[in-house]
Chain A
Amino acid sequence: MSNHQNNKKSYAEMLELTKQDLVTGVGRSVKHESAAKQVSGEAIYVDDRLEFPNQLHVYARMSEKAHARITKLDVTPCYNFPGVAIAITAQDVPGQLDIGAVAPGDPLLADGVVEYYGQPVLAVAANDLETARKAAMAAIVEYEELEPVLSVEQALEQEHFVTEPHTHKRGDSAAALASAKHRISGSAHIGGQEHFYLETQISSVVPTEDGGMIVFTSSQNPTEIQKLVAEVLGVSFNNVQIDMRRMGGGFGGKETQAAMPACLAAVVAHLTRRPAKMRLPRMEDMMMTGKRHPFFNQYVVGFDDNGLITGCEMKLAGNCGYSPDLSNSIVDRAMFHSDNGYYLGDATITGYRCKTNLASNTAYRGFGGPQGLIMPEIILDDIARRLGKDPLEVRKHNLYGGEGRDTTHYFQKVEDNDLPEMIADLEESCEYQKRRREIRQYNASSPILKKGLALTPVKFGISFTATFLNQAGALIHIYTDGSIHLNHGGTEMGQGLNTKVAQIVAEEFQVDFDTIKITATNTDKVPNTSPTAASSGADLNGKAAQNAARTIKQRLVEFAARHFNVTEEDVSFSNNYVVIRDEVLPFAEFIQLAYFNQISLSSTGFYRTPKIYYDRDNARGRPFYYFAYGVACSEVVVDTLTGEYKILRADILHDVGASLNPAIDIGQVEGAFVQGAGWLTSEELVWNDQGRLMTSGPASYKIPAITDMPIDFRVRLVENRKNREDTVFHSKAVGEPPFMLGISVFCAIKDAIASVADYRVSPAIDAPATPERVLWAIQRMEAFAQQTDPDTVTEPA
């Protein structure tokens, strides 16, 4: 809290201060609002909340079959355990059973049939979690097995879909391919990814009067939790209040799938009238909840002697798991990004939503975008190898730009293409060409280790493609001491959203950052919010908060003009003071004056994104308000005896428009890059032939650890580049786009592998490029290199 009142300054001093910039406003590297609490253990997560004396803990028993009919379900043995309050099955849910986010398909508890290994079948609430678990395991569950579909190819072949395929089409791709000088076809499995938020899914609920519920949850989507809790209880939405202070990581995993623990706890609390908490142990979290969609992508591309793509067809098949969840939009986004930053010529892109007996795959940073966006990078590597060119040269050649080459395959004009300039900048600053030569020399003389280099761009569309979601609300109160209370519809998962939104409000009122307090996101304060997703948190909620601030500010300006008998133009806010022509008042004093003059000091704010639309029937429109860009160059070293590798250096140049907070933005870029690299390297999901996830904990599923960070890591933001669109302070979204900079690591590994056969052939490798997959690719290269007549050989599959 500012303490200007205690520190009476002279007029001259105050006037001098009003001429200085606010040091904690927009564009400053203000510290994360919770940092000091996080480092001291004082920041409270849902599981840290003080428990009630009659607190219940909920455990869900998982299905042990991928697909089966439940022939017997008997929870009576659960009650043999002292401390058990209730055991519930689908029949006990008072309201609607289905908690599907967009379309139905997700029963809260299995209803006669289980559709994946790990699906909640029943739940037990007891005085402590261990008792609940033991009791749940004592229930009698018998199954009659049904045939599962476990592979995406099988689902594709059987047209076993959660929703219908969709196609983007521009021109006549078949004709373009037929007349192309060169053609390459191929396919790649792109692996999924476990979110591995450090805090597992959790909700804690307290029953209230009128059959209502207060829900403390770790969710990116409070409004949806409110809706679903109300629906499973069969009460109206206004009986359910959601409180969401912070998440210990989200990454998309808590966009829809935080609902299950919230709803189960709510049903238990409703039936017992006792507070209930459900926290998933790590293994249960990994087995029950969905992940990034694995994709199986097939492509045919035609190109000329210079490597220019003239025609392209892609089939992108997302492995959705057992239910629709968000898969429709996720596969759409894969399709929207199958061009990355390149003009594909005549193109036909079809997306398939394959239904398999796995947990329902869900949102994950990039939302399908990465699985589509990696395809042109794979394709351009193939083209470069075929033509004996450097992949960077081919990439640059195919970028959007120029007459007739500035429209995407879904007919959005690329108006703000910064990639050519950014690539040129990074190519020079990271000394790509020099290092390319050095690496060739190194590889020629190193018997075991080989190095690889790749520079890849990212163009990522910003906006929810479900256009109606692009709206947000905020609520601001100013109290009579000048302190400000701020709420908005977004959620804080570590990305610094609260910090940025508070900076925006600080900037508007020209007060110090610590004058502003953001409390938990709460459906009682800001209703009908969209999930904090699609990188849109600051764009949407920042604007809504700005609008709320401007509403109050306008009232204050009008009041001041009236009160001091000046014009509105004579009133300005500057660095904790309000200047009214010749008067200078500390902000708090001015607020008090306004209060005594009966001025409303509270307002909501609302924002909707302009310009965007998408006509799905005709597969054309402007789904994105703007694009965010990034470029990364990664260098790796690979062991040809074992397939092990290490990232030696990464250079990144990323575009966030006019940064709201450079430190937070750089943190997002670095974190996203490492997470993206993890997705394509060590993070391998393995299911057995029963559909059981075998990599169900951090002992077996390896997210990047500290040594996986590039040894030499150089990250820059594009400077002096405002968003051309009217976004909040002309900033750009940052959460997802840099995730795909990790693709440069994948391509660099492939580059090192390609060196084994003197870059004459493009190694086909599925993602993630685990040491094992890398070794097999190397062996195929060695076999290729040993063949004497390169004209007669076929490329390794």
Chain B
Amino acid sequence: MIRFLLNRELRVEEQLDPNMTVLNYLRTKARKTGTKEGCASGDCGACTVVLGEPDGDRIRYKSVNSCLTFVSALNGKQLITVEDLKQGNQLHPAQQAMVDCHGSQCGFCTPGIVMSMFALGKNSAKNVGTPGKEEIHEALAGNLCRCTGYRPIVEAAEKMYDDVTPDSFDTEQAATLARLREIQPQTQVELSDGAKTAFNPSSLSELAGLLEQHPDARLVAGGTDLALEVTQFHREIPRLIYVGDIAEMKQVRVTDEQIELGAAAPLTDCYQALSQDYPDFGALLHRFASLQIRNQGTLGGNIGNASPIGDSPPALIALGAQLVLRKGKQTRTIDLQDYFIDYKVTAQQPGEFIEKVLVPRAAANGEFRSYKLSKRIDDDISAVLGCFNLVVRDGVVQSARIAYGGMAAIPKRASLCEQALTGAAWNRDTINKAKQALAQDFAPISDFRASREYRQVTAVNLLTRYFVELESPEAETRVTAYV
């Protein structure tokens, strides 16, 4: 049984297919058709809804793709859909601004855009004045519009701040918060349709127990990749364990030595801690899928998924991150680079799960840079991702950690290149030798994102960029600096 608020109405669902997405729930079960299906793969944002959850004395609002969210993730939350924004005949400021700025043409992406704008408004309400273009782009990078070219949408996102009167969500926040507190999960819940079951454990020990009981169960954190198995590949997942209700796994803690990131902490939560120490990691996370995905997706998921094109592993490997793996009561810590064994094969044992990710603080590392190459700046999968972390002292390379995504069956270090650099003088001659070594490190494949030759050539060129950036900090080196 799960309990949640659908807009302002309490819903208790005893029996549901746990493979059902929130989008299908809304459109077929709740008959709320304002939320649209554009792709069912989390790439277009037409299905964007907002989830509200208690966060101290306020409600935190997050835009998510309803097509990638399984219903059991709704437990204890408020699901806000486009139908709930308009009160009586009064459009919400986000809606009114879209009308005033001519931000909708065919209107099919519009509900999703309105929901992303609504979440933006809620989350930057504390800021003085209008958010910058960068913040607006970040909020809307996961919402495709084929009609407008986006200019009027950006204008609407600015204009909605003109209306400073509290909306119904503000005026009812205390009451809604109280209602949400009442339905917060205290213990493990289950949702089943008889054949398939989803478990929502509420503690690490419950999770460990469940996994030992159901070693075949699939772990769901954000579910932003797993849900594709259902929506795109039409597989059935009989056992799901949702880890999003486990507070211990969602913590982000920064100590003097390290940044500890709970495996189920959404990427948006990891952003703050990582970008502080590593601005380039922040820049990378800005281009990691879309905000909707980052609001759901987790580092644990991105690592555990073991994709050769996940964006966080190369960066984390370059930084020397470690994983804490847990099975039952036993934990062990391994270097992240040792986690990846072969294509989709990891060091994780049956019944074992990733509990947290440990990242050394910046003081323990060198100059970190990460470069993501893709056809499109927003919400695209990397053709190549290169991450560099060199310590250069007195003109000599003391240590080098360089890792790439998209170049091999796993995220992988460029060992030959690292060898060529380590101990050598930091100059163009060394870089040229290291580039030759780097060309031997990988044998990438060709696919629709890029050819093997492009991957090879750019992987090598990224080392040039790293060198230029360190040597000539004033030089403009990235087109993404212009966005």
Write the residues of chain A forming the contact surface with B, with a CB cutoff of 8 angstroms.
Answer: 29, 31-32, 34-45, 47-48, 50, 130, 133-134, 195-200, 246-251, 281-283, 446-449, 493-496, 637-639, 641-646, 648, 663-664, 666-667, 670-675, 682, 684, 686, 694-695, 697-700, 702-709, 711, 713, 715, 770-772, 775-776, 779
Give A699 to B382 CA distance when docked, in angstroms: 11
Inside 8 A of A247's CB, which chain B residues have their CB? 106
- What are 22 A-B contacts with C-beta separation under 8 Å? A35-B107, A40-B85, A41-B111, A44-B33, A130-B234, A448-B465, A449-B476, A449-B478, A638-B479, A641-B458, A642-B462, A644-B373, A644-B480, A674-B150, A698-B39, A698-B144, A705-B378, A705-B379, A707-B378, A708-B150, A771-B375, A772-B451
Q: Is there an interface contact between A446 and B380, defined as CB atoms closer than 8 Å?
A: no
- B211 close to chain A: CB less than 8 A: no
Give A35 to B40 CA distance when docked, in angstroms: 24
- B95 close to chain A: CB less than 8 A: yes
The 3 closest A-B pairs by CB, nearest first: A41-B34, A494-B106, A248-B108
Q: A35-B98, A47-B33, A198-B36 are in contact. Are A706 and B105 (CB under 8 A)?
A: no
**Contact with A35, one of B83, B104, B461 (Cβ below 8 angstroms):** B104
Q: Is there an interface contact between B149 and A675, defined as CB atoms closer than 8 Å?
A: yes
Q: A199-B36, A248-B107, A641-B461 are in contact. Are A39 and B146 (CB under 8 A)?
A: no
Inside 8 A of B185's CB, which chain A residues have their CB? none
Closest chain-A Cβ to B463's Cβ sits at a distance in Å of 10
Q: A708-B377, A775-B457 are in contact. Are A493 and B106 (CB under 8 A)?
A: yes
**Contact with A706, one of B150, B447, B448, B464 (Cβ below 8 angstroms):** B150
- B2 close to chain A: CB less than 8 A: no
Inside 8 A of B85's CB, which chain A residues have their CB? 40
Q: Is there an interface contact between A682 and B108, defined as CB atoms closer than 8 Å?
A: no
Q: A40-B82, A43-B107 are in contact. Are A448 and B468 (CB under 8 A)?
A: yes
- B41 close to chain A: CB less than 8 A: yes
Give A199 to B44 CA distance when docked, in angstroms: 11
Closest chain-A Cβ to B212's Cβ sits at a distance in Å of 32
Give A779 to B100 CA distance when docked, in angstroms: 47
- Which of A40, A196, A447 is packed against the most chain B CB atoms within 10 Å? A40
Q: Write the chain A residue with the least CB distance to B99.
A: A35
Closest chain-A Cβ to B13's Cβ sits at a distance in Å of 19
Q: Is there an interface contact between B379 and A671, defined as CB atoms closer than 8 Å?
A: no
Q: Is there an interface contact between A646 and B483, defined as CB atoms closer than 8 Å?
A: yes
How many B residues face the partner with a CB closer than 8 A?
89
Inside 8 A of B102's CB, which chain A residues have their CB? 29, 31-32, 35, 663-664, 666-667
Q: Is there an interface contact between A771 and B146, defined as CB atoms closer than 8 Å?
A: no
Give A702 to B36 CA distance when docked, in angstroms: 20
- Which of A133, A664, A705, A711 is packed against the most chain B CB atoms within 10 Å? A705
Name B405-458 residues within 8 Å CB distance of A. 447-451, 454, 457-458
- Which of B111, B147, B153, B448 is packed against the most chain A CB atoms within 10 Å? B147
Inside 8 A of B380's CB, which chain A residues have their CB? 702
Give A698 to B106 CA distance when docked, in angstroms: 18
- B38 close to chain A: CB less than 8 A: yes
Give A189 to B44 CA distance when docked, in angstroms: 28
Give A437 to B379 CA distance when docked, in angstroms: 35
Closest chain-B Cβ to A126's Cβ sits at a distance in Å of 14
- Which of B33, B154, B371, B479 is packed against the most chain A CB atoms within 10 Å? B479
Inside 8 A of A695's CB, which chain B residues have their CB? 448
**Contact with A283, one of B140, B232, B449 (Cβ below 8 angstroms):** B232
Taking A197-B106, A671-B149 as known contacts, 14 extra A-B pairs with beta carbons closer than 8 A to each other, sorted by chain A number, are: A31-B99, A32-B105, A39-B111, A41-B81, A198-B44, A198-B109, A248-B107, A282-B41, A449-B478, A639-B477, A641-B462, A704-B376, A713-B151, A779-B457
- B475 close to chain A: CB less than 8 A: yes
Name B73-105 residues within 8 Å CB distance of A. 81-83, 85-86, 91, 94-96, 98-100, 102-105
Q: Is there an interface contact between A48 and B33, defined as CB atoms closer than 8 Å?
A: yes
B352-384 to A contact mask, C-beta < 8 Å, 1/0? 000000000000000000010111111111010
Q: Is there an interface contact between A646 and B377, defined as CB atoms closer than 8 Å?
A: yes
Inside 8 A of A35's CB, which chain B residues have their CB? 98-99, 102, 104, 107
Cross-chain pair count, CB within 8 angstroms: 262
Q: Is there an interface contact between B106 and A670, defined as CB atoms closer than 8 Å?
A: no
Q: Is there an interface contact between B448 and A686, defined as CB atoms closer than 8 Å?
A: yes
Q: Write the chain B residue with the least CB distance to A640.
A: B461
**Contact with B234, one of A133, A200, A700 (Cβ below 8 angstroms):** A133
- B202 close to chain A: CB less than 8 A: no
Give A708 to B34 CA distance when docked, in angstroms: 27
Dominant SS at the A interface? loop
Give A586 to B98 CA distance when docked, in angstroms: 33
**Contact with B114, one of A39, A195, A250, A772 (Cβ below 8 angstroms):** A39
- B472 close to chain A: CB less than 8 A: yes
Q: Is there an interface contact between B33 and A772, defined as CB atoms closer than 8 Å?
A: no
Closest chain-B Cβ to A146's Cβ sits at a distance in Å of 25
Inside 8 A of A496's CB, which chain B residues have their CB? 105
Give A561 to B85 CA distance when docked, in angstroms: 51
Inside 8 A of B449's CB, which chain A residues have their CB? 700
Give A758 to B172 CA distance when docked, in angstroms: 64
Inside 8 A of A449's CB, which chain B residues have their CB? 476-479
Inside 8 A of A493's CB, which chain B residues have their CB? 106
Q: Write the chain A residue with the least CB distance to B31.
A: A50
Give A286 to B454 CA distance when docked, in angstroms: 26
Give A133 to B234 CA distance when docked, in angstroms: 9
Give A735 to B470 CA distance when docked, in angstroms: 48
- B137 close to chain A: CB less than 8 A: yes
Closest chain-B Cβ to A633's Cβ sits at a distance in Å of 16
Closest chain-B Cβ to A714's Cβ sits at a distance in Å of 10
Inside 8 A of A495's CB, which chain B residues have their CB? 105, 147
Closest chain-A Cβ to B195's Cβ sits at a distance in Å of 14
Q: Is there an interface contact between A772 and B454, defined as CB atoms closer than 8 Å?
A: yes
- B200 close to chain A: CB less than 8 A: no
Give A644 to B374 CA distance when docked, in angstroms: 8
- B389 close to chain A: CB less than 8 A: no
Inside 8 A of A670's CB, which chain B residues have their CB? 148-149, 151-152
Inside 8 A of A642's CB, which chain B residues have their CB? 371, 373, 458, 461-462, 465
B35-56 to A contact mask, C-beta < 8 Å, 1/0? 1111111011010000000000
Closest chain-A Cβ to B280's Cβ sits at a distance in Å of 16
Q: Is there an interface contact between A674 and B479, defined as CB atoms closer than 8 Å?
A: no
